């Protein structure tokens, strides 16, 4: 979900939703263009994609759990990626037995 790209290529979008809403409300030609583009959108139903959940979870890791982040690794030391490694050790929370 966060691509590994050179930092000079990263810019803040700011309030992109608010800016788009203002453009759509204030500019008839731009509103028509937005409607034209929206008509070309192809929706992908992720619920029926067999490996979507696997890809989604891997992409939530920083760095990505299955893809290296060479640009970011060149700037700083990245943590080891280890999710759900198992074992009883660690800071897991346990429920107390009620009395």
**What does each of the 99 residues of the chain score in pLDDT, given as a tens digit?**
667 888 888 888 899 999 989 998 999 999 999 999 999 999 888 888 888 888 888 888 777 778 778 888 888 888 776 655 444 444 555 556 665
Q: Is residue 84 part of a domain?
A: no
Q: Residue 34: inside a domain, yes or no?
A: yes
pLDDT at residue 88 in the model? 46
Residue partners of 59: CB distance under 8 A and separation at least 6: 1, 2, 65
Measure CA 39 to chain center. Answer: 24
For residue 76, the model assigns a pLDDT of: 82
Copy the structure tokens of residue 26: 């204030």
Q: Count of domains in the chain?
A: 1
Domain interval for residue 23: 15-73
Supply the pTM of this predicted model: 0.43
Does residue 32 fall inside a structural domain?
yes
> Residue 10: inside a domain, yes or no?
no
Answer yes or no: is 8 within a domain: no
78 occurs within a structural domain: no
The Cα angle at residue 77 between residues 74 and 83, in degrees rounded to 5: 120
d(C-alpha 28, C-alpha 2), whole Å: 34
Q: Is residue 68 part of a domain?
A: yes
Q: What is the pLDDT of residue 74?
A: 87
pLDDT at 60: 81
The verdict on residue 57 lying in a domain is yes
Distances (CA, A) of 78 to 55, 72, 84: 20, 8, 18
């Amino acid at each position: 979900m966060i691509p590994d790209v050179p930092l000079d290529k990263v810019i803040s979008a700011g309030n992109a939703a608010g800016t788009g809403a203002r453009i759509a409300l204030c500019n008839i030609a731009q509103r028509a263009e937005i409607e034209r583009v929206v008509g070309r959108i192809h929706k992908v139903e992720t619920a029926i994609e067999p490996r979507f959940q696997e890809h989604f979870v891997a992409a939530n890791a920083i760095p990505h759990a299955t893809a290296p982040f060479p640009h970011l690794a060149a700037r700083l030391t990245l943590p080891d990626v280890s999710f759900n490694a198992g074992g009883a050790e660690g800071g897991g929370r346990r429920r107390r037995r009620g009395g």
